[in-house]
Structure 1
Amino acid sequence: MASPHAARVLVASNRGPVSYTLRDDGELTSKRGGGGLVSGLSAIEGNAESLWVCAALGDGDRAAVRRGVAEDGVRMLDIDPEVHADAYNGIANSVLWFVHHMLYQTPLEPVFDAEFRRRWDAFRTYNRAFADALAAEAAEGAAVLVQDYHLCLVPGILRELRPDLRIAHFSHTPWAPPEYFRLLPDDIGAELLRGILGADRAGFLTQRWADAFTACCTAVLGGTGDTASTGGTTIAVHGLGADADFLRKRSHEPDVDERMAALRERIGGGTGEGPDGRRKTIVRVDRTELSKNIVRGLLAYRELLDTRPEWRGRVVHMAFAYPSRQDLAVYRDYMAEVERVADEINSRYATADWTPVALYLKDDFARSLGAYRLADVALVNPIRDGMNLVAKEVPVVTDHGCALVLSREAGAYEELGRDAITVNPYDVSATAAALHEALTLPDGERAERSERLAAAATALPPQRWFLDQLNALDPAAATG
């Protein structure tokens, strides 16, 4: 039964647009988030009654739910913390993320045993909590947009509860090819696919990921041809671009200028290589995800200094490696390896007035934007990435044009590959050569490539990305 104040457009995601912090004195403070979903949802505010359903992720969020504190248009679910931990860390981030990014060391992992099955039950419970909330809050015939791998069972459960709804699921990650997807137990793989196929539309960031999903449906569920394998579900591609207006405005605010001054000081000058007489810069900005390939990027930079000694003292690699999932041991170990390799490079090559690697581990968006503006080369070399917005953001923000070294395994490669210097992310030597090529691009060519990259990167801004999906699912919901 629908709520008496039912919403016509609903978004479901693990993380919501607002988070709460519980202070020592017991008071709650809130912080509004950003990103494509937040920007996209703003496109329908005022045109339709909308609701964002998300999980309470910490003590502050849970306290807000229990005290009845809520932001208009947001419903936060107080799911049992142990259930959430098993679903989020035990399955979503330790199994599904690893499958779709092809990260397993298969001689030893994965191991699908009784403990995995216990966690899978928690994942089902977590997904059902979302489906129940959406079913209760949705108006008759409402449009429901379910986000990402955390909630891939929701469409199927929700379809049984509310067959009247128009449901979409969107995958922000890559999708594994059948031969890798079938590492999963047969029944679990089938359950995942059928969960998404409960939606009217299944969306992906690139055609490559959409084709992989369809191939998995054929391999696991049987049938021949796209329609037979995916039933009545439409498989769609919606690329997500950078928010140019926001980035350009935000990157010229005073705090960014302050960060840039500090970065310039750390880079140092006097060589006349880069703008303003400073050294040239290779910039990367990532969460310390296993898939981001930060260690091989550092090794490629080390090889550049080894094989091209003329760059010693003339270039600085600014590596922004922000902590991610530090409650998982494998991520803590990876962060430690990033630091170890950076320290090793600095120990080997640093001089009195030059530190080759400037490693930043504390998340600071203003500082990242300052680095974007200063970058001569952006290094984006993931093992595998659904899209990678950093590759799109740097060309938009750069002050003087930036060369992009881009992994062919990033989703952004489909749109940006022609004007980027493309690399195999596993090939350290080829990546070192690509860095040299990028550093030596003539100024005019670098500026022209950067301009074309920026145009491609902003072709599908977040609001259009969201509204395209909504219009395809339910045109009346978008127009109000």
Structure 2
Amino acid sequence: MASTQGAAKVLVASNRGPVSYEVRGDGSLHSKRGGGGLVSGLSAIGPDADALWVCSALSDGDREAVRRGVGEDGVLMLDVPADVHADAYNGIANSVLWFVHHMLYQTPLEPVFDAEFRRQWESYETYNRAFAQALADRAAPGAAVLVQDYHLCLVPGMLRELRPDVRIGHFSHTPWAPPEYFSMLPDDIRSQLVSGMLGADRLGFLTWRWARAFMACAEAVDRERFFPSWPSGAPASVQHTATGRPPLRTTWIGVHGLGADAEFLRARSREADVEERIAALRSEIGRAPDGTARRTVVRVDRTELSKNIVRGLLAHRQLLDDHPEWRERVVHVAFAYPSRQDLAVYRDYTAEVQRLADEINSAYGTATWTPIVLHVKDDFARSLAAYRLADVALVNPIRDGMNLVAKEVPVVSDEGCVLVLSREAGAFAELGEDAIAVNPYDVIGTARALHEALSMGPEERAERSKRLAEAATALPPAQWFLEQLGALEDGEAGVAGQGD
């Protein structure tokens, strides 16, 4: 990767970077490397690609690393003031934009766009401007810049003004709200968000459903300035102008369904620590009274409000009520790893998951059977162990941009698994044909789906699982990244056709 002092030809911008730091008791700094599709993608383009990753200092350790001048080659960490970051990240990105795109507001009470919201919005603008300026300062002439997600929606437009020569892409990892829901935002904020996004040469989404929603929102915001075009069999785009008069610019729309990294998952799931976790889980699951192995329904999520963990537990309770024959014969293995615990609504949700699991275990459990095996401490090796043991994978989000768990479990499962999948998950567009579809709000329907999945014969289960794994790995992370970069660098619109 390029030195942070030089001009980079490929730049990635994201709130969270590939490395984090902590200050240890002796005052030394310890770094931890992250993973994921962007890391894989940047590694795939090779060390001579002159690439730079611009991210935010998120913790006290990160900020101390910036102050000391400690960092990795090819990574630029921005020390945005902590209060500005908190307002932009928690106040706007996670408490407004996330809720809008996941359609999670309790509308009789929220949202309330008052003076405090406007103050936090100024921080969101400041935060985006810091990224735009850093990218402008370090991009080589004609560089390719890939901006990530809802934290940085304004960056493309700001960067376009600073550096009209660079090629700008933006990728949304979340759903995009339909116009009716997006219209809850104040008119000027909606316009600012759409205009900021359309500063890009190319916008990427996980599914055509989300892409079409953005295009519809652009048209709804200002029909005199934004002109979506989605001709059958041709690349989609939005033509737009700042004034309502020519000249028009074109922002191309592409879809890239991020897939699972089969090679990594299969290798990692066979390591010694995973084998240890499998043994521990088997002990927790136990065996049925007749000595046979108990069946497992597995879910692995962060306790984000969109993941619908509570209704999943309620559906398992309904299964035990409707089909008593499954009592003592099936265990719901639920990993609910805490997320965004600095927000009260997430703390309350995590507590409700724990409360309901305890209630079900108390009502139905026996001396030798725990119906819900719940773990809340993040443990990737244990997650892989659960993947391998899964007979059924339950993925029932209220709304999800993609949901990689739905793609990962079929890849790793030892005996093949049945996927019970919400039709509101982005992954449903690719996996729905071989999954059992559920309405995420319908607890009784989800219980029926669990019964169907648990009752499925081994041959059909294995065949479905094989097809799911093939679909899930069609666009692995490195290829996902390189596909976007290639389309941006070549000036191509990317994926043609408007299929679901």
**TM-score band, normalised by shorter chain:** over 0.9
Distance 1:229 1:116 in 2: 31
Rounded to whole Å, the distance in 2 between the matches of 1:378 and 1:132 is 44
Residue by residue, what CA displacement relative to the aligned partner does 1:316-372 show, whole Å, maximum 9, x if unpaired? 001000000000000001001101110110010000100000000000000000000
Aligned match of 2:64: 63
For residues 193-228 of structure 1, the C-alpha deviation after alignment (integer angstroms, 9 at most, x for no partner) is 100000000110000000000000000021454256
Matched, 1:400 2:419: no
1:235 has 2:259 as partner: no
Give, in whole Å, the separation in 2 of the partners of 1:221 and 1:472.
Answer: 28
* Distance (whole Å) between structure 2 residues aligned to residue 39 and residue 279 of structure 1: 37
- For residue 285 of structure 2, the aligned residue among 249, 264, 267 is 267
Partner of 2:496: none
* Aligned 8 A contact 1:272 1:279 in 2: no
With the length of structure 2 as denominator, give the TM-score of the two structures. Answer: 0.93
CA gap of 1:228–1:410, structure 2 versus 1, over 3 A, is closer
Unaligned runs of 5+ in 2: 230-236, 241-248, 492-500
CA–CA separation in structure 2 for the residues paired with 1:340 and 1:350: 15
Partner of 1:390: 405
Equivalent residue, structure 2, for 1:153: 154
The answer to whether residue 427 in structure 2 is matched with residue 409 in structure 1 is no
CA contact (8 A) 2:168 2:200 kept: yes
AA aligned to 1:415 is E
SS of structure 1 residue aligned to 2:433 = coil
Letter in 2 for 1:147: Q
The equivalent residue for 1:108 is: 109
Question: Where does 1:54-93 land on structure 2 (aligned, <5 Å)?
Answer: 54-93=55-94
Aligned equivalent of 2:385 = 370
Residues 221, 229 of structure 1: 8 Å contact kept: no
Q: Deviations over 1:133-157 (max 9, x none)?
A: 0001100000000000000000000
Structure 1 residue 215 corresponds to structure 2 residue 216: yes
What aligned pairs does 1:21-420 form with structure 2 within 5 A after superposition?
A: 21-223=22-224, 224-226=227-229, 230=240, 231-270=249-288, 277-420=292-435
| Distance in structure 1 (CA, Å) of the matches to 2:4 and 2:283 | 58
Residues 203 and 254, structure 2, Cα contact 8 Å, conserved in 1: yes
SS at match of 2:297: strand
Amino acid at match of 1:268: G
**1:213-267 deviation digits (Å, cap 9, x = unpaired):** 0000000021454256555100111110000000000000000000000000000
> Which of residues 434, 440, 450 is equivalent to 1:435?
450
Decide whether the 8 Å contact of 2:216 with 2:228 is kept in 1: no
Q: Aligned letter for 2:151? A: H
TM-score w.r.t. the length of structure 1 is: 0.97
Task: Indicate whether 1:13 and 2:31 are aligned.
Answer: no
Percent identity, aligned pairs only, is 74
Pairwise CA distance, 1:39: 1.1
| CA deviation vs aligned residue, 1:352-395 (integer Å, no higher than 9, x gap) | 10000000000000000000000000000000000000000000
For 1:354, give the aligned amino acid. Answer: W
Give the SS at the match of 2:434. Answer: coil
Find the aligned partners of 2:183 and 2:297 in 1 and give their Cα distance. 38
The residue type paired with residue 170 of structure 2 is H
Q: What are the residue-to-residue correspondences of 1:428-467 with 2, within 5 Å? A: 428-467=443-482
Contact 1:153–1:191 (Cα < 8 Å) also in 2? yes
Q: What secondary structure sits across from 2:103 in the alignment?
A: coil
Structure 1 unpaired stretches of 5+:
none
Alpha-carbon distance in structure 2 between the residues aligned to 1:4 and 1:331: 40
Q: 1:247 to 1:3 in 2, by over 3 A?
A: closer
CA contact (8 A) 1:222 1:229 kept: no
Task: Find the residue that maps to 1:34 and give its secondary structure.
Answer: coil
> Separation in 1 of the partners of 2:5 and 2:368?
68
Structure 1 residue runs of 4+, over 3 Å off?
A: 227-231, 270-273
Secondary structure at the residue paired with 2:16?
coil
Cα shift readout 1:152-189 (whole Å, capped 9, x = no counterpart): 00000000000000000000000000000000000001
Paired residues of 2:239 and 2:251 also in contact (CA < 8 A): no
In structure 2, the CA distance between the partners of 1:130 and 1:225, relative to structure 1 (3 Å rule), is closer
**466-475 vs 280-289, greater mean Cα deviation:** 466-475
